[in-house]
Structure 1
């Protein structure tokens, strides 16, 4: 394949924990987002979710949808479906081998291939031709306790093997940096901070003047597996889990013990919650309920799992988090599966819950600055992207370190895909390879 052919077919894929976006490289250094077609479509943003249900005519007896269509299928019949979201967070986890859905095993790469197949099907024909060159965004650091980047890359390769002819990986914040550079009219050193659902990543690039032979030069990157989903878990931990038995006790062999925290760890992880609806887990929870000193909270957890309430619970948490980005207080309300939860939440409380995480995120940013060999004063522009960047406490962190006048935002959900497509139009990708 020659460079001209590769450049003509360049596609940028931002496969995100919460949302995914696709962009196609066009003429004269431009890229265009792929808009999805149909009544359930949400523009260029495709939710990173899958819904499974049993259907005789489907392959292996299980049918599948993705994106907003997965949400639509789930809402039509939540009890008879399995809704899977945030599955990107297990990409680098050696402890995740496969999930059983309606008795059928699915590996991460199986989820990924099904997701991409449905994404292509809803693209209105724009992705029917196999792209010649695909630039895939990947985090600088993967989510998880002990992430294995080599395993994640192997799984990504399997997931993408039918999607494009030539696959290249680029750090996600570098995609955003390339997109932001198109706005600049003079040379600058730019720090990009990408706040996603599973990870927060930083890249520092040097941007040359418009028309330069090489417009962007990457200097350093860093990342940490803390982002929007982690913040969601703090809300869940404070407002929901105590009502489901966290902190409770049960009797076993004549002793009174604390209810094991593993139940709540799994329940608070959106990538695992849907998978808890299996006979073995529900039987174990039933035994726990019978021996609990207060069986009512454990009964609530069982009801939420049995009635497949993961998505509406996730949605309620996301709504209150977004509301706290606008107002100083918000009402958390969830109702489903026979369970009702209401609570007033202040922005001050939420910021106190996430304060230790923000310190670690700031440490990851300092690591990028140190690797680039520069101090904050040498950064001319800071570009914040990703939906989680809208949280006021995050913006305040950057205002304090760099000054509000140096900070830019915009395209929170689409800038990475735009930049990845533009990078794909470069004849030499060596400097951008992750």
Structure 2
């Protein structure tokens, strides 16, 4: 245990961010956020920007649940950005224009961390010497560039800690879960986040061993909670916004380009569609569409900043279907009114291909570790999407329910990262 400074574990997630500090007893404690909008130790990975004359360059900002409150107070006069971690490894993302100002990924990250520290009730006012940051095994997005993501993370974290270590997120969860075990075991950790699903296989030694955990293999895939949200939007919402429709170009009848719908259903890009160029393109498309009304609905939703209410409605449906066999999806905003009953079996059919690809990623980790299902003693499921019944059923089928453990779905990674930071040499766990 280091004593001259605090070791901090930072689980910067696509949907939520959690921070833990190593304590003097060899454990770790979550940082609880303070204030009227606080939601305990879970800090939403979101930003809100609005114009304010006294602010730096005329643009003020907030983060976490305070960003949501600012947006809800004045949605038409703000820009709400969430899931921006999704673009960390994207070479095609250079900057977002918000109120006429360019923001790179690292700019948004720094602003986010500044507000996170400000809302931590003083617990993060002292700059920690060691910061252990979780990163996915495989980044989300098409053709992700891990080196680019590392460069952007370094810039984002330059003022956050003096020693920064990067550790695969499921290894953080493995370290947290290992603290529960009283005997040696080979464990499989499955981390279902917002942007990625990651697997790590770790051999855990008996308590008191010089090195408690030894990583054997990891694998991952850029499919997780946000992709499941996309499937809901694709089935229930995009057909009402023109997907599958046609437009006229000279004497040809063409299908409306799918890129607009892909952007609309991606929470990291939806807010950025509210710019003059994109809206002008959509208005031209509306003019030439064989059925202009659906495109008009899309324009209205973008112009009136309906991204967050839409995201919230999709999330409520997904969570409800984890508890009941059927639930009603309801959304109403700016000309789009949807009320539809969705059965859990329907949702499971929509994500079936995604689950097959996730299972293949798990098989890749087992193969790398030269371990079969019988050689896994314990399975630890973490991350919000691990609560989806179809995901739990996958592990029940492969391993049997008696070997599966859950708990701390949103916090276990941060706990484990802090524990790694308190070890004599955290670099043994780094990527």
- Range class of TM-score, shorter chain: over 0.9
Q: For 1:429 and 1:314, how far apart are their aligned partners in 2?
A: 37
CA positional deviation for 1:339: 2.2
Counterpart residue number, 2:79: 82
Aligned to 2:130: 133
Structure 1 position 212, deviation (Å): 1.3
Q: Please list, as runs of the form range in 1=range in 2, the aligned pairs for 1:256-405 lying within 5 A after superposition.
A: 256-405=253-402
Q: Match for residue 416 of structure 1?
A: 413
Is the alpha carbon distance of 1:4 and 1:347 closer, same or farther for their aligned partners in structure 2, counting shifts above 3 Å?
closer
Contact residue 187 and residue 203 of structure 2 kept, 8 A = yes
Q: Which residue of 2 aligns with 1:45?
A: 42
Q: Secondary structure at the match of 2:97?
A: strand
Q: Which of 166, 187, 201 in structure 1 is aligned with 2:184?
A: 187
The reply on whether 1:149 has 2:146 as its aligned counterpart is yes
Aligned equivalent of 1:123: 120
- SS of 2:76's equivalent in the other structure is coil
2:237 paired with 1:240: yes
Q: SS of the counterpart of 2:11?
A: strand
Work out the CA distance in 2 between the residues paired with 1:168 and 1:306: 41
Is residue 2:406 matched to residue 1:431? no
Cα deviation, residue 429, structure 1: 1.8
Looking at structure 1, the residues matched to 388 and 318 of structure 2 have their Cα atoms a distance apart, in angstroms, of: 8
CA contact (8 A) 2:96 2:103 kept: yes
The superposition leaves residues 344-363 of structure 1 with CA deviations (integer Å, 9 ceiling, x where unpaired) of 11111110110111111001
Q: What is the CA-CA distance between 1:337 and the residue it aligns to?
A: 2.5
Shift, 1:5, TM fit: 4.8
Give the unaligned 5+ runs of structure 1. Answer: none
Unpaired runs of 5+ residues, structure 2, are none
Contact 2:26 2:419 in 1 (8 A): yes
Q: Distance in 1 between matches of 2:247 and 2:338?
A: 23
User: 1:431 Cα shift?
Assistant: 2.1
1:183 CA drift (Å): 0.6
List 4+ stretches of structure 1 deviating above 3 A. 3-6
Distance 1:42 1:142 in 2: 27
Alpha-carbon deviations, 1:17-42, whole Å to 9, x = none? 00000000002221000000000000
Q: Distance in 2 between matches of 1:249 and 1:430?
A: 55
Report the Cα distance in structure 2 between the residues aligned to 1:408 and 1:424, rounded to whole angstroms: 24
**Which segment is superposed worse, 419-428 or 212-221?**
212-221
Aligned counterpart, 1:23: 20
Q: Distance in 2 between matches of 1:332 and 1:185?
A: 45
In the TM superposition, residue 74 of structure 1 has moved relative to its aligned partner by 0.2
- Please state how far the C-alpha of 1:210 moved relative to its aligned partner: 1.1
Please report the TM-score for the alignment, with normalisation by the length of structure 1.
0.98
SS of residue in 2 equivalent to 1:242:
helix
* Distance in 2 separating the partners of 1:206 and 1:429: 17
Residue equivalent to 1:254: 251
Deviations 1:376-404 (A, max 9, x none): 10000000000000000000000000000
The counterpart of 2:57, out of the listed 45, 56, 60, is 60
Deviations 1:7-66 (A, max 9, x none): x42000000000000000002221000000000000000000000000000001000000
Q: Does 1:407 align with 2:420?
A: no
Q: Tell me the distance in 2 between the aligned counterparts of 1:351 and 1:4.
A: 47
The farther-off stretch of 424-433 and 90-99 is: 424-433
SS at match of 1:79: helix
Aligned length: 431
CA distance in 1, matches of 2:286, 2:340: 25
> 1:5·1:132 contact (CA, 8 Å) conserved in 2?
no
- Describe the SS at the equivalent of 1:326: coil
3-state SS of paired residue (2:351): helix
Deviation (angstroms), 1:342: 1.4
Using the alignment, how far apart are the partners of 1:224 and 1:103 within structure 2?
Answer: 35
